[in-house]
Amino acid sequence: MDESAALSLLERHLVLEPVTLLVGTDVRDLPESVQMRLTHRVESLPLALIHAVLARAPETKEIISPLFADSFDATELAYELFRAEFRGALTIVAPKMPQPDLILQELRSICPHVTLALVCRTTH
C-alpha cells in the first residue's frame, strides 16, 4: 500500500474535493465491481492515519476496507469512524460467507450513522 498519497493529504491544509479512502488496502486488491464505481479521488492509508486524514479531508464520501487487514479488522475501523464522527459510507470487502448480514449488524451497532455495505468476493 502506497502511503505517500495519504501523507500528501496531510501536508495540505484542507482537501475540499470528494475523496474515497482505502484503509488497509489498495485499488489493485479491490474486486472489479468496486474498482469500476470509484469516481472520486482515491487515496490509500493505514488505519493509524484515519483521524488525521479525515480532519484534512472533510469531503470524504466513502471508506473502503477489507474485513480483515494485516493489522486491524473492520470492527476496529468502525469504532474509529464512530469516534471521528464520520457520516459517509463504509464498504467492507470480505470473502464469501454464509451470513454476511451478521457482519453488517455488528458494524451498524458500532457506527450507526455510517451507510454500510458489504461486498463479498466471489473467489478468495
Q: Quickly state the pLDDT bin for 63 (edges 50, 70, 90).
A: very high
CATH architecture designation of domain 4-120: 3-Layer(aba) Sandwich (3.40)
pLDDT at 121: 84
Domain ranges within the chain, ordered by starting residue:
4-120
Return the pLDDT at 95: 93
The rounded distance, in Å, linking the Cα atoms of 73 and 11 is 27
Residue 106 has pLDDT above 90, yes or no: yes
**What would the pLDDT profile of 3-56 be if each residue is shown by its tens digit?**
555 656 666 667 778 899 999 999 999 999 999 999 988 999 999 999 999 998
Alpha-carbon gap, residue 81 to 99, rounded angstroms: 24
Q: Is the pTM of this model over 0.95?
A: no
Residue 94 near residue 103, CB atoms below 8 Å: yes
Q: What is the Cα–Cα distance from 72 to 94, expressed in whole angstroms?
A: 14
Classify 83 as helix, strand or coil: helix
**Positive or negative CA dihedral for 124, 103, 110, 19?**
positive
